[in-house]
């Protein structure tokens, strides 16, 4: 038997992107997701178009039971950050908008 100190520490999760990464949302994946359906927007709702532009910034990353999620804030948009699955995010090289 090994002493308790020698027990393996839980591994740090390995994320597919970093904090500060600039992202946009893949429109096709989002519109067909439970995330979109849960908000209850009408079809072809235009008020969300900003999430498909290169202006989201990853604030935090977590692994939940349902997979890897990123907390995304939109630069220049007065809206709350949102947790979205990283598989529907498209990484961008740089921010295409000035910070407000």
CATH of the domain at 77: 2.30.30
- Is 96 part of any domain? no
Residue 30 · residue 39 · CB < 8 Å: no
22-26, 43-47, 58-62 — which is least confidently predicted?
Answer: 43-47
Instruction: Determine the structural domain holding residue 29 and report its residue range.
Output: 21-91
Residue 93 — pLDDT band, cuts 50, 70, 90? confident
This model's pTM is above 0.75: yes
Cα distance between residue 36 and residue 7, in whole Å: 42
Average pLDDT, the chain: 85
Residue 31, domain member (yes or no): yes
In a domain, residue 78? The reply is: yes
Does residue 56 lie within any of the structural domains? Answer: yes
Q: How far apart are CA 52 and CA 22, in angstroms?
A: 12
Quick check: 77 and 49 in contact, CB under 8 A? Answer: no
3-state secondary structure of 88: helix
Confidence at residue 11, expressed as pLDDT on a 0 to 100 scale: 73
- The verdict on residue 12 lying in a domain is no
CA dist., res. 72 & res. 36, Å (int): 15
24, 94, 16, 62 alpha-carbon torsion, rounded to 10°: -70
Q: What total of structural domains would you count in the chain?
A: 1
Asked, for residue 14, whether it belongs to a domain, the answer is no
């Amino acid at each position: 038997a090994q002493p308790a100190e020698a027990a393996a520490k839980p591994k740090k999760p390995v994320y597919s992107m970093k904090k500060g990464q600039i992202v946009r949302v893949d429109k096709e994946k989002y519109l067909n997701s439970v995330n979109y359906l849960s908000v209850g927007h009408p079809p072809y709702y235009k008020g969300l178009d900003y999430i498909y532009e290169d202006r989201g910034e990853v604030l935090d990353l977590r692994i939940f039971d349902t997979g890897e999620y990123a907390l995304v804030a939109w630069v220049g948009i007065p809206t709350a950050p949102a947790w979205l699955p990283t598989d529907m995010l498209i990484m961008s090289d740089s921010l295409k908008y000035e910070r407000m």
